[in-house]
Structure 1
Amino acid sequence: MWKREKIEQTAMAAAVTVFMGQLYLSPVTGWFRISMAVMTLSILLLYFRQVSAIAVSFIVALAMPFFRAFVEYVSLSRAVPFEDLFANFFPVAIFYILFGILFELFRIREKADNPLLFIISLWFCDSAGNIAEISYRSTSNQFDFSHAVYEIIVIGLIRSVLTYAFYTYSIYYKNRYDREKKEERYREMMLFISSLKSELFFLRKSMNDIEDTMRRSYRLYRELGAGEMKEEALTVAKNIHEIKKDYYRVVDGMENVLSEKNKSSSMNISEIFEIMKENTRKIVAQKGKEIQIEFSCHEDFTTCEFYPIISVLNNLITNAIDAIEEKGKITVSEHADSIFFVLRVEDDGCGIDEGNMEVLFEPGFSTKYDPATGKMSTGIGLAHVNEIVINHFNGQVEVHRKKDGICTVFELKLPREAVENRGQKSDEC
């Protein structure tokens, strides 16, 4: 497979170089060309480091004269014999053969990190190849040889500098693109894990409910007199016990995986805000809304409880986006006092009816639905928020209605002790 890839890259580098050879200027003589082929060949040899520079150059040396002669033959409507045109362009093979040998000999690829050494080495390869070519042509053409050499040296320097600049900038933009894609994958992974973490909180709650139900079933079994109902109660208790064991296996497996990924790691609230900012912009763009998003951080604390924080913020921000019909503003802020870190999510959307305030955090309650299908939302998002803030952080959730209920503010108060202490002890992360 590696050999096939190497052959494909060699063929592609040679073909692109030959085609780019048709873009040129002729400032010195009628036969000398300043083409894009040399820059193209140099850059491709730098990109495809596993291919042989000599092999590519030899292929170009054979194909370039033939291709140029063919193009010229067609453009002149066959007025000049093809053999004469090929003989005129054939000396260009001298340049590419010598260029490839010198490129490999001077190990140009290894000098890419040293700008001065790279430019000087490539300059010599460029100039030496062209001088060898005009030395051959001078036997049958009349022109100012010394002036041509001067032009070749100057043009070779310019071309080498441009080659290095283009290669450097292309690598810079490629690395930046790769870094952005990596950061995007990282943000998506963080949001995914935070969602799993929040689901774990509900699984733990369900385990407690199952444990309590099993105790009640067994107590009912002991209190019932002998008979069919007593045996039925025992069967129910046994089945609940089996369900509890399955829950334990699932929760333990998820916790082991997530704890390994989160081991000894922590994050600043400013970094959490950056993740949420990019994710929010992406969601807003997908929904086609015009929403202004602002994040502000007044005290940048560090915690390893970043997954639960990301989960609650993601739920609240998603709800805020859904509450805004077309245009609006979402403000996410953090401030602190001596007891709490306070996170606020404010939007100027449709707001919350007064009658819904008491059941707002009940699992299953929702006023949202999909307009395309008419299917109601699960109504689990705010229940997650309430569960995490109150039961996990031992914090507080407050909801405020402003401007006649149109503007909504969710305020999460997370105790400093619950956030900071867990962020400082790596064994608790």
Structure 2
Amino acid sequence: MMLILVPLAGQLFFYPFNDSFRISFGTPTFFFSLLLLRKIPSILSGFIVGIMVVLFRILLDLIIYGKVFTDSFIAHYPTFFYYLTFAFLFYTIKMKRLHHRPVLMGILGIIIEISSSIAEITFQYIAFDAYTSPSAIHKIIVIAIFRSYFTIGFFNLLKLYKTKLTVKQTRQQNAHLLMIISSLYEETIHLKKTLINSEKITQDSYFLYQKLMEFEEQKETLPIQCLAAKTLKIAGEIHEIKKDNQRIYAGLSKLISDESFKEYMTIYELLDLIIRANNNYALSLGKEIEFKQEINGDHPDYHIFKILSILNNLVMNSIEAIKQLGVVKISVSKQNNWVHFQISDNGPGIPNKRKNLIFEPGFTSKYESEGSSSTGIGLSYVQRIVEELEGKILLKSEPEVDGTIFTIKLPVNYLVKKE
């Protein structure tokens, strides 16, 4: 756009002093472009724009006025050095770092334009002995002051507009986030109730388990009525949890469907998200966990919720298994049409006698002394998701390896966006 606009703007001019001395809009357009396009190299811009302006003016002379190419080139080539000098000084003074100081930018802009005009005048003198009078120099200074502060003023008006627009968008986003947080807060009320009920059911179930073991050890007759009442109570409490979970699920489902959440993400973003979230979880448990990640192969964008629901639960279980200090590593590799996820930790591992039980619904080995279970999600949930995706879940633990390694193998076509 700069290469097109600057030559065109150079042809928009007027004569403020009622003589042949004209003012064009090429310089303000070029100055404004350099300020606006901060990532484009200034000197390269000046070099190319200078060439484009000279070529454009020569082309106009050839087509409209029928001038000879050589004469037109000699008349216009000094303009190249004007733009090159302007860009060089703009870069040298580091104008792009002075956006917060408009007055200084205006003064430096005046100096840059005067210096560039002197460079152009010098080459005009070399080309065809053109003499510049002191009055012309005075006019150049006046024009430089006008154009520099006009450009800086327009640039700051644009910045002000963008700032106001950003503030407006930020307010709208904050209001939107408040609505989302409000909706989530309502769901946390139901979730808190569910957690309390879950803890109570866990304690009742653990108490029932202890009683059954005592009767078995002592070879006593089971008090059917008492145990039946206890079992019925547990069933009723589980039904309450089911209803609460249905409410939570309905609320969250509506929230997710109403939001245009990004559904697919790169594997690097996914692992960073999992590590950040679980690092906070580890800190909340007072544990010092070092997280590592390893990614091999080229991966497409994967479905966020499918991957998170599997890996996040496995990483949480690894954190809970580690006593105080430990390492959790997430490895990902792609093999043909399958993606392999591996979650390993250096925790105490899983004994052989429990390996066949860990995927059973309701099984957990992390009980406190009073019978309350940990907050980790059962592996049966992970296994169910993996099976629904037609994948496989494998376990290695003591005595095969130190700690625990879970390997998840999933077909890629279930995790990527359909064409």
With structure 2 as the length reference, what TM-score do the two structures score? 0.45
With structure 1 as the length reference, what TM-score do the two structures score? 0.44
